[in-house]
Amino acid sequence: MKVLTIANLKGGVGKTITTINTSYILTTDCGKRVLLVDNDQQGNCSQFFGVYGYDKPSMTDVMKRRVTAEEVILHTEYEGLDIIPANLSLAEAEKAVLMDSVTPQQVRLREVLRQVKDDYDYVLIDNAPSLGMCVINSLATSDYLIIPAKVDKFTFDGIDCLLDQMNTVKEYFNPQLQVLGTLITSYRRNDTNQQGAEWLKQAEKYKAFDTFIRWTDKVDESTFTAEPIMVHSPRCGAAKDYKAFVAELLKMVEG
């Protein structure tokens, strides 16, 4: 089981869209068993797959060490794709974890995922734009970090902060963690994007993927219809790009 954290300290860069569509392609096109972890209190992945709510266990209970994996994992409508949901109570849970000095704070998600290590090929974790304890838990349990990024200075500054935090987690909690790459999203064929993409590619620490995800309004539309972009608009550029990205990802991870 490979665990992938999808994170960036900047909001609006396509973390959730990337998590959803990568999970879908891995499941439907590649035949992989996938667990999506919604590690964001906004619960956008949970809303997308129709499992948002407060009547069932969620990431809140994972962080408070109150559930087993079997109790918190839900099925989606897509065979082979399951989810651990989240809701707004995750913010309170994160504060509770910080107040608990008795049990380990950084490895609570790892404890749950270890229970299903033989049940899935991939775990993808969608994260809030923060460096809170939930994100640290995600990094502490992951094999790889994927950083979705738009081409702007604020995004680049956020990547540097995230990489610093990743290195700290790697040193103290998870020595196997490594950056898989930076995925440029909302790409437009203009001078700014082309220059920014080239700069990212030349900076070795960012490990920019060869694939760019092109901007299209079809991506925003797909969030209203709650359909992966390959279902909502299979011929659009972003759908083709996400398929190319997953192929690149698999080649890197599986050889």
Q: Report the pLDDT value the prediction gives residue 99, as an integer from 0 to 100.
A: 86
Which residue ranges make up each domain of the chain?
2-254
Of the given ranges (16-20, 109-113, 188-192, 245-249), which has the lowest mean pLDDT? 188-192
Residue 77 CB burial class (10 angstroms; 0-12, 13-18, ≥19): exposed
What pTM was computed for the model?
0.95
Residue 66 pLDDT grade (very low, low, confident, very high; cuts 50, 70, 90): very high
3-state secondary structure of 247: helix
Q: Report the pLDDT value the prediction gives residue 202, as an integer from 0 to 100.
A: 76
Mean local confidence (pLDDT), 6-29: 94
More confident residue, 26 or 200: 26
CATH 3.40.50.300 fits 2-254, yes or no: yes
